[in-house]
Structure 1
Amino acid sequence: MISSNGQAEGETRKQTWKPTKTLHWRGARLLNMVFQPLFEATAGRLRVGHIRLVELETTGRRTGLPRTVLMPSFLMLGDSYVLLASYGGGKSQPSWYWNITANPVVQIRAGGRTRTMRARVSEGKEARRLLARVLRRTGGTYLFLVAPARAAGRRVPIVVLDPIPEPKP
């Protein structure tokens, strides 16, 4: 007898695991649930080894509402932060990336300070140089997030957050 899902009775389909957008979203959600209370308790000074965590607030490109995500910054360039839009190696870009392409002015909270920054996507030689520095700094361990995205045909954008000078009174 054939069931409603097209399988013969007693037959089981082999399930193949494939990373999905939902899985990456859930993983990011879980990490935020774990690290957000620690980030709050340390007043934004949380570091995991050499990785500085930053709370990034973007403006939603469709809604115009503030969107906040906690994420790692593997590299600092003076007062600028370097972020990788890896989305856990997923096939699509993370939402925060699309938000910053629509509105590059963001707020970050890190090291106990909140600052206004301007996001820009690094291109060409600068992007290759920054990715190499991130991989060196992490001992190559971050490659496991970049490689699957590349295998899926997706370029992993490297985003640099540059400080916007505050107006002098």
Structure 2
Amino acid sequence: MPPDIALKAMNAAHRTLLKLSCGRLGWQVASMTVLELVTTGRRSGVPRAVMLTSPLTDGDALVIVASRGGDDRHPAWFLNLRDRPEVQVSVRGGSHQPMVARIASAEEHARLWPQVVKVYRSYAAYQKRTTREIPLVLLSPA
């Protein structure tokens, strides 16, 4: 699975693309909306920003996938929002909005996972790589 340094480099490259294109490129990836999620570090208390994709919405909630490329570990942003669910979200470069993160229940996961995989098939491959169930997170307006 990708080491932390590779994930950070991919995130930096994505931000560079957005900056160099003056925001014209990089807000859509594989038909998924790109957003910036700002969590609060669970140990440091420092704001942490990461670029993520949202394959779908569920009512007024954005759905994000804590896949980490099929790694056996959860992504750091997921651990942060699990402990501190108050987050900030910017969609397509808009202003940051306060939101509350909630891990999908088993029933919600069962309902949403097939829709997520339909949008981006690689998520199914990521799930096959790991023994952990890849969590889905719902981001709702605060």
TM over 0.5: yes
Match of 1:124 among 95, 103, 106: 106
- 5+ residue gaps, structure 2, are none
- 5+ residue gaps, structure 1, are 1-18, 165-169
Runs of 4 or more, structure 1, over 6 Å off, are none
| Distance 1:49-1:93 versus aligned 2 partners, 3 A rule | closer
TM-score (norm 2): 0.88
In structure 1, the residue matched to 2:37 is 56
TM-score (norm 1): 0.75
Identity %: 31
RMSD: 1.9
Equivalent pair of 1:47/1:53 in contact (CA under 8 Å): yes
The 2-side partners of 1:49 and 1:162 are apart by 23
Specify the structure having the higher radius of gyration (Cα).
Answer: 1
The 1-side partners of 2:125 and 2:45 are apart by 33
Match of 1:93 among 70, 74, 77: 74
The 1-side partners of 2:24 and 2:50 are apart by 16
Match of 2:137 among 159, 164, 169: 159
Aligned residues: 139
3-state DSSP of counterpart to 1:93: coil
Per-residue CA deviations over 1:76-135 (Å, capped at 9, x if unaligned) read 224321111111111111111111111100001113232111000001111111111101
3-state DSSP of counterpart to 1:61: coil
Match of 1:38 among 17, 21, 26: 17
| Distance 1:105-1:73 versus aligned 2 partners, 3 A rule | same
Per-residue CA deviations over 1:40-61 (Å, capped at 9, x if unaligned) read 4318971124111111100011
